[in-house]
């Protein structure tokens, strides 16, 4: 794991965030997600500097679109964002998780 992945994993593991169970380096369809909550079909990705490369950005966009078309929610954060504002990253994950949970309740 990268230093950023280690930091986020420490914040997510053992259901530390809203009792949500995340797995790291989890297979999701034909991809491997940095972090994945199966119950909500929520993928969380951390992006280092390489993701600022235009070719990598295009691959990331295609990947995210494919996952969304399959019903997954995808969140992306930069490593810098995690290190500078970890609370904001966690708040966004919680916000999206709550929205997904509300939508699931409305379906059932």
pLDDT band at residue 52 using 50, 70 and 90 as cut-offs: confident
Q: Which domains does the chain have, with CATH numbers?
A: 3-84+93-107 (3.40.960.10)
How many beta carbons lie within 10 A of that of residue 11, not counting itself?
A: 16
Q: For position 51, what pLDDT does the model report?
A: 83
Residue 11: pLDDT over 80: yes
- Which pTM value belongs to this model? 0.94
Q: For 27-43, what is each residue's pLDDT tens digit?
A: 999 999 999 999 999 99
Q: What is the 3-state secondary structure (H, E, C) of 45-74?
A: EEECHHHHCHHHHHHHHHHHHHHHHCCCEE
Residue 108 has pLDDT above 70, yes or no: no
Q: Is pLDDT at 19 greater than 90 in this prediction?
A: yes
Angle at the Cα of 30 (from 33 to 57), degrees rounded to 5? 60
Predicted local distance difference test score (pLDDT) of residue 105: 87
Q: By the 8 A CB rule, do 83 and 7 touch?
A: yes
Residues 64-107: pLDDT tens digits? 999 999 999 999 999 999 999 999 999 999 999 999 999 988 87
């Amino acid at each position: 794991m990268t230093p950023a992945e280690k930091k986020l994993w420490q914040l997510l593991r053992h259901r530390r965030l809203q009792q949500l169970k995340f797995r790291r380096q989890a297979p999701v369809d034909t991809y491997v997600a940095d972090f994945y909550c199966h119950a909500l079909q929520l993928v969380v990705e951390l992006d280092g500097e390489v993701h600022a490369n235009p070719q990598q950005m295009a691959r990331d966009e295609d990947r995210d679109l494919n996952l969304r078309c399959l019903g997954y929610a995808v969140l992306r954060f930069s490593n810098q964002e995690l290190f500078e504002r970890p609370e904001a990253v966690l708040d966004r994950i919680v916000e999206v998780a709550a929205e997904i949970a509300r939508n699931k309740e409305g379906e059932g």
